[in-house]
Amino acid sequence: MVKNEGIYQTASKLAEQIKASPEYARYITAKERLLHDPINRKLLRDLRNKQFDLEDSLETGEEYTKQEEFLNDLMMSVALNPVVNDFLNAEYNFGRIIEQLSEIFEQIFPEDDIFEEEEAAATVSDALHDSAGREDTTYIN
């Protein structure tokens, strides 16, 4: 008997149940339909690339741009496109199942507090170092 065989058997059964779900079947069908449609596949690729570009620019603190306006227009055209829209909905619904499973598995991991004491000590040390170079300013009314 393989160590932890029961865990692997349970995981295999879970994978089978996921594959048998209507969400998975819809996702696979929508994906196949999209894969055989080069125009709509390109439209989705462009949408994803624009989303990534926008996320990058927002992370750097850039404000609302023409790029974001273009992305909104592209998303509106995608919403009216049955092939891409069906894929995005199927992907979202299947992704929700995976996300919920991830949340369940996250519960078994202990809090990652290995470095908390070191980080707290470093924060105190940094604060003391920063205040050491300043003059003491007290305001009394």
Phi/psi of residue 58, nearest 5 degrees: -70, -35
3-state secondary structure of 110: coil
Q: Are 78 and 44 in contact (CB under 8 A)?
A: yes
pLDDT in tens, the chain (141 residues): 578 899 999 999 999 999 999 999 999 999 999 999 999 999 899 888 888 877 777 777 666 666 677 777 777 777 789 999 999 999 999 999 999 999 999 888 877 666 776 666 666 566 555 555 544 444 343
| Structure-token pair, residue 80 | 């009216």
Phi/psi of residue 65, nearest 5 degrees: -130, 175
Domains of the chain: 8-109 (1.20.1500.10)
d(CA 18, CA 25): 9
d(CA 44, CA 35): 11
d(CA 40, CA 83): 7
3-state secondary structure of 115: coil
Tell me, what amino acid is at 35?
L
